[in-house]
Amino acid sequence: MPEVRTPQMFVDGAFVDAASDATFDSVNPATEEVVARLAVAGERDVDRAVDAARAALDGPWGNTGPRERQRLLMRLAGLVLDNAEELAQLDTAEVGIPIARSRGLAMASAGLLEWYAALSRTVRGATIENNRPADLISSTLRQPIGVVGAITPWNTPLPMMMWKLGPVLATGSTLVHKPAEISSLSALRMAELCIEAGVPDGVVNVVTGNGGTGALLAEHRGVDKIAFTGSVATGQAIVRASAGNLKRLTMELGGKSPSIVFADADLDRAAASVARSIFDNSGQVCVAGSRLLVQDDVHDEFVDRVAEHARALRVGDPLADGTDMGPVASKAQWEKVKDFVAGALEDGAELTTGGGGAGQEKGYYVEPTVLTGVANHSRLAQGEVFGPVLGVTRFSTLDDAVALANGTDFGLSSYVWTTNMSTANTMVRRIKAGIVQVNTIEGLDPAVPVGGHGMSGYGKELGLEQLDEYLSTKSVWTAR
C-alpha cells in the first residue's frame, strides 16, 4: 500500500495539520485492520479550507479561460491513468471493492475527467431579443457558481469525487471536498495529483472528518453550493443547514430501484442482469435493483435462475483475482444488512438463498441473499438496505407492476424486462423515476444525466445538464 500522509488535511495546495488532535481510524472491512489514522476537521479547519477556496476564486484562477481549464483536466485525467493502480488499491483497502472493479472504476474516473474537459468549452451565454428601445441590448453571462462544498459517499469513492471535481474545474469554481469518513485516502491522493497537474493552490481542498465536519461545511456561509451524494437523512440535514445563505444544492440521494420482469422477457438475459444489478459492489450502489417484481407466470422459474447466479458468485478477499464480491464497507453497514434480513424473515419473507456471513473468519461479509414473498409495505421493500439483499414480490398485471414500482418514497432508477415494446413504452412513461432502463442495466455514460424524483433527490449529475448546477446566470443590459 502506498504511504499516505496522515493525520492531515489538504488545504491551499499542501498537507496541513488539523487544529485539534482529534482523529479517527479507517478500517479495512476485509481484514478488520486499521488502514490509516485521519484527522477530524473542526470549525477552524473548515474555515481555513473555505478561505483558501475563496482566495483562489478571487485570484488568477477566476480569470482562467476554458482552454486552460480543459488542458488542466486532460493532464489530470492522464495522471489518474498513470496512478490508477495506486488509487484502486486505496479504495479496495478502505471499502472492500474487489480489486478488478476498483481498477475499472479508476479507469472510468479518468474518462469522466476527459468528459468534463470537453464540457469546459461549452459554457456560453446568449443574446436575447427584448421589447425595450432598440438601443438596449440584453444578454446573459454564465459565471462560476463560486465555492463548492462536495460531500461524497463511501461506496465508490474515486468516481464520486470526479462527479464533483470535474464540473468544478470545468466551470472555474473552487472546491472543498469532505469525503466519507471510511473512504478518504483516494480523495487526499487526488488532491495531490491536482497540484501535479497544475491546478493552482486553493482550488481543490480536502477536509477529512465525520458527520460534524460535513455539517460545518453544509452550513458555512462562505460556501455557495453543496453537491451531495448519500443518504436521505443526511441530505435532509444538509437542506436545513443550507438555509443560512440559501446555498444552491445538488442532492443525489438513496434509491429502492425495482427490476420489473414480465412473463415475455428473455429470462436468461434478465436473470444474469438482475443478479449483477444487486450483487455488484456487494449491493452498495445507489441505483442497485434491490426490488425484484416478477409476473406470476414466471415467478418461481425466474427466482430460481437468479438464485443460481447468486450461489455461483465467489465471495472473499477483494484483493484476490477472481473475487466477484467482497465485504460490505464497514461493521455498521454489516450490522444494518443483517438486521434487514432478520426483520424480513420476521415479516414473513422466505429465504431462497444466502442470509449468512459467507464463511469468512474475519471481515464484514454477507452472502448474496434472495428473499421471496416480500410485501411492498414491508421494511425490506421500503428501506434502502445498501447490501447484497434482493427482495422479490409477485405481480399479475401491468397496472399492478406500475403500482408496486411507484409504491415507495424513492424514485432514482428502474429496470424493465420485456420483449413487448408497447409494454416497455408504457412502463417508461408511467414509472416515477429519474432513470428507466429497458432490457439492460448498462445505462451509465458521462453524457447522460443522472438524478432522481421524490426522496431520491433533485438536481442532475453528469450530462450537459450538470454544468448548469455549477454556473450562475447573470442578465446584462447594455445601451449603445
Question: What is the rounded distance in angstroms from the CA atom of residue 37 to the CA atom of residue 18?
Answer: 13
User: How many domains, the chain?
Assistant: 2
| pLDDT of the residue at 2 | 43
Is 2 inside a domain boundary?
Answer: no
Q: Which residues pair with 10 in a beta bridge?
A: 15, 206
Instruction: Say which amino acid occupies 448.
Output: V
Q: Tens of pLDDT along 41-55?
A: 999 999 999 999 999
Amino acid at residue number 337: V
| First and final C-alpha spacing in the chain | 64
Cβ-contact 149, 227 below 8 angstroms: yes
Buried b (16+ CB within 10 A) or exposed e, 249-278: bbbbbbbbbbbbbbbebebeebbbbbbbbb
Same domain, 324 and 422: yes
Active site residues: 252, 286
| Percentage of the residues of the chain whose pLDDT score is greater than 90 | 96
Asked if residue 231 and residue 156 are part of one domain, the reply reads yes
From the list 194, 215, 196, 198, the residue with the least C-alpha distance to 206 is 194
Three-class secondary structure of residue 345 per DSSP: helix
The DSSP string of 216-276 is HHHH-TT--EEEEES-HHHHHHHHHHGGGTT-EEEEE----PEEEE-TTS-HHHHHHHHHH
Same-domain check for residues 341 and 213: no
Collapsed DSSP state (helix, strand, coil) of residue 107: helix
Long-range pairs for 190-194 at CB < 8 Å and ≥24 separation? Answer: 190/80, 190/87, 190/158, 190/161, 190/165, 191/10, 192/10, 193/76, 193/79, 193/80, 193/83, 194/76, 194/165
pLDDT at 192 over 70: yes
Question: pLDDT tens across 78-122, in order?
Answer: 999 999 999 999 999 999 999 999 999 999 999 999 999 999 999
Q: Are residues 267 and 401 in the same domain?
A: yes
Using pLDDT thresholds of 50, 70 and 90, give the confidence band for residue 70. very high
Q: Which three cell numbers stand for residue 60?
A: 488568477
Q: Which residues pair with 37 in a beta bridge?
A: 25
CA distance linking residue 142 with residue 468, whole number of Å? 9
Percent helix, percent strand, percent coil in the chain, to nearest 5: 40, 20, 40
pLDDT of residue 471 exceeding 60, the answer is yes
User: 288 and 190, same structural domain?
Assistant: no
Residue 248 has pLDDT above 60, yes or no: yes
| pLDDT attached to residue 6 | 60
Summarised one tens digit per residue, pLDDT across range 318-376 is: 999 999 999 999 999 999 999 999 999 999 999 999 998 877 789 999 999 999 999 99
User: Considering the domain boundaries, does residue 195 fall inside one?
Assistant: yes
DSSP result, 166-218: HHHHHHT-EEEEE--TT--HHHHHHHHHHHHHTPPTTSEEE----HHHHHHHH
Asked if pLDDT for residue 5 goes beyond 80, the answer is no
| 232 within 8 A of 255, measured Cβ to Cβ | no
226 and 101 belong to one structural domain: yes
* Domain carrying residue 282: 258-445
**Interatomic CA distance for residues 161 and 415, integer angstroms:** 26
For 126-147, what is the mean pLDDT?
94
Residue 441, H or E segment: none
> Which of 86, 251, 57, 59 lies closest to 152 in space, CA to CA?
251
The reply to whether 158 and 222 lie within a common domain is: yes
Q: Is residue 156 part of a domain?
A: yes
Cα–Cα distance measured from residue 476 to residue 200, given in angstroms and rounded to the nearest whole number: 30
Give pLDDT, residue 1. Answer: 46
Which residue, 479, 464, 393, 403, is CA-closest to 142?
Answer: 464
Residues 220, 75, single domain; the answer is: yes
Domain match, 191 and 283 both:
no
**Mean pLDDT for the chain overall:** 96
Task: Summarize pLDDT for 255-310 with one digit per residue, the tens.
Answer: 999 999 999 999 999 999 999 999 999 999 999 999 999 999 999 999 999 999 99
Q: What is the C-alpha to C-alpha distance for residues 396 and 401, in angstroms, rounded to an integer? A: 7
pLDDT in tens, 211-241: 999 999 999 999 999 999 999 999 999 999 9
Residue type, 336: K
302 and 245 in a single domain? The answer is no
The residues near 441 (Cβ < 8 Å, ≥ 6 apart) are: 273, 276, 277, 289, 415
Burial class of residue 449 (count of CB atoms within 10 Å of its CB; 0-12, 13-18, 19+): middle
pLDDT, tens digit (0-9, with 9 covering 90-100), for 424-446: 999 999 999 999 999 999 989 99
Nearest alpha carbon to residue 352 among 298, 387, 311, 313: 311
CA-to-CA separations, 59 to 151, 203, 386, in angstroms, rounded:
25, 10, 42
Q: What is the pLDDT of residue 356?
A: 85
Q: Look at residue 127 and tell me whether its pLDDT is greater than 70.
A: yes
- Res 4: pLDDT: 46
- What CATH number should be reported for the domain holding residue 211? 3.40.605.10
**213, part of any domain:** yes
Q: Which residues contact 249 (CB under 8 A, 6 or more apart)?
A: 225, 226, 227, 228, 238, 239, 242, 458, 459
Q: Decide if 435 is inside a domain.
A: yes
Residue 451 counted as domain residue: no
The enclosing domain of 321 has a CATH number of: 3.40.309.10
Q: In terms of domains, do 342 and 431 share one?
A: yes
Residue 450 placed within a domain: no
Q: How far, in Å, CA of 260 to CA of 265, rounded?
A: 10
Q: Is residue 1 part of a domain?
A: no
In terms of residues, how long is the chain?
480
Q: Round to whole Å and give the CA distance between 253 and 257.
A: 12
Residues 6+ apart with CB under 8 A from 4: 36, 90, 185, 188, 189
Q: Are residues 412 and 467 in the same domain?
A: no
